[in-house]
Amino acid sequence: MAATKRSKPPPPLTPAGTDPKVLRRAHFLMRLSRAWDSRFEAMARVGRIGRWYSAVGNECTTVGTALALGANDAISTVHRDLGAVLTTYLDATRLAPALFPAGDATEWDALRPPPQSLLDTLASQVFGRRGGFTRGVDRSFHYGLVKPDWGIRHVGMISHLGSMIPVASGLALANLQDGNDRAVLGFIGEGATSQGDFHEALNLAGVMKLPLILVVENNRYAFSTPLAEQYACEKLSDRAPGYGIAGETVDGLDFDAVHAAMTRAVARARSGEGATLLECMLPRMRGHAEGDGSYELIPPAEREEYLKQDPLARFEAALLARGQADAARIKEVTEVTKAIIEDAVERALLTEEPELAEATRPVFAPGEVATAFARQSTEVTGG
């Protein structure tokens, strides 16, 4: 069943109006995200990992939005937001010093921990290894990292789609309560917008004027379901007026458009004007999970069209066209990022499985309740 009705995206676009520093970092991070996906897709194809939810096609949106945030703005991610995670976690200038002129490092970078170690932890996380953020207890992006000292406030997903939108609204509420001007960026697929939690959270955001930006990554399919079976409005941003919040739909192939829309949304959030629903239209470049047969259901011509729309290729073409990078630079970034990911993955694959004791680690944070839990017979606690 084809995703009908939506018009085709406009012709090739150019990252024209964006700060060169931002463009350099964006290019690096998008390539890093893509390199990661390529590596994991390859492993999924040969059965070395169980499932892989590819973010290929989402990079321009995830990186373009996350790059508009500052230290201790919060992000809440779902399953195709690797780009936003990398953008938030990594001091790119330290990770690939050769690629960045001295002035590219930001104040936030100064707070950030050594990037290599975070990348290694992330790779171990995805493999369910001992060295991951959850030490094997939960999968890939199912964790969070709230480290105000590092300027990082990241809340990962649970599998239940839509459930994180209220949580993101709560992160925004805390900012309101603290009287600061921080913003919160939440991601969601177009499929998950059908969940009641989407509605409840955006309604709250409207009523309380929460500093929240919800980015809808509209890749036109949810698992096998095309958007015409998912919703009947013209654009999902048409829902914004119903919540009294700002709404915009941008072309997720157009880095400048994404970044500019996000920058506007962040400004609204910081100035107390409230929330934004930002829909980014993406090409469906991969199936739901690698090898699950869902991509084959999309008509071949439609698939080809999507594959031609690769936002990263367009971004690089635009860099070239505008003279913002030459072919050598693009090649270098491609190779450096590939090597960084290869390394991280290899290292992670050499790390150990989690200790078995992790399975029965506490369900309660230390305190009275945790102590009482541990007092029960081990048949129950499993302890």
Partner 1 sequence: MAETTYIDAIRRALGEEMERDANVFLMGQDIAAFGGAFRASKGLFEKYGRLRVINTPLMESGAIGAALGAALVGKRPVLEMQFADFVSCGFNQIVNNVAKTYYRWEAPVPMVIRLPFGGGAGAGPFHSQSPEAWFAHTPGLCVVAPSTPRDALGMLKAAVRDPNPVIYLEHRFLYRREKEDLGEGDLLTPLGRAHVVREGKQVTVLSWSWTLHESLAAAEELAKEGVSVEVVDLRTLSPLDEETIFTSVRKTGKVLIVHEATITAGFGAELAARVADQCFEHLDGPVRRVAYADRPSPYNKKLEQSLLPGRERITAALRKLARY
The contact set with ligand TPP (CB under 6 A) reads 80, 159-161, 189-192, 217, 219, 221-223, 288
Cα R_g (the chain), whole angstroms: 21
Residue 293 within binding range of partner 1, rule CB under 8 A: yes
3-state secondary structure at position 186: strand
- Whole-number minimum distance, CB 112 to partner 1, in Å? 19
Q: What, of partner 1, Mg ion, a copy of itself, none, does residue 239 touch, CB below 5 to 8 Å by kind? A: a copy of itself
- Whole-number minimum distance, CB 371 to partner 1, in Å? 7
Q: Are strands 184-189 and 212-218 parallel, antiparallel or unpaired?
A: parallel
Query: Distance between CA 325 and CA 91 in Å, rounded?
Result: 21
Q: Are strands 225-226 and 246-251 parallel, antiparallel or unpaired?
A: unpaired
Contacts with partner 1 by CB under 8 A: the residue count is 90
Binding site for a copy of itself (CB under 8 A): 194-200, 203, 206-207, 209, 228-234, 236, 238-245, 274
Residue 231 within binding range of partner 1, rule CB under 8 A: yes
Residue nearest to Mg ion (CB): 189
Q: What, of a copy of itself, Mg ion, ligand TPP, none, does residue 232 touch, CB below 5 to 8 Å by kind? A: a copy of itself
Q: What, of partner 1, ligand TPP, a copy of itself, none, does residue 80 touch, CB below 5 to 8 Å by kind? A: ligand TPP
The pair of structure tokens assigned to 10 is 């406009």
Instruction: Identify residue 358 by its one-letter amino acid code.
Output: E
Of positions 6, 142, 235, 329, contacts partner 1 by CB under 8 A: 142
Query: Distance between CA 84 and CA 64 in Å, rounded?
Result: 8
Query: Distance between CA 269 and CA 70 in Å, rounded?
Result: 13
Q: Are strands 145-147 and 152-155 parallel, antiparallel or unpaired?
A: antiparallel
3-state secondary structure at position 377: coil
Nearer Cβ to a copy of itself (169/324): 169
Binding site for Mg ion (CB under 5 A): 189-191, 219, 222
CA 189-265-148 angle, to 5 degrees, is: 85
Residue 351 within binding range of partner 1, rule CB under 8 A: no
Answer whether 54's CB lies under 8 Å from 41's CB.
yes
Binders of partner 1 in range 49-78 (CB under 8 A): 50, 74, 76
Residue 137 within binding range of partner 1, rule CB under 8 A: yes
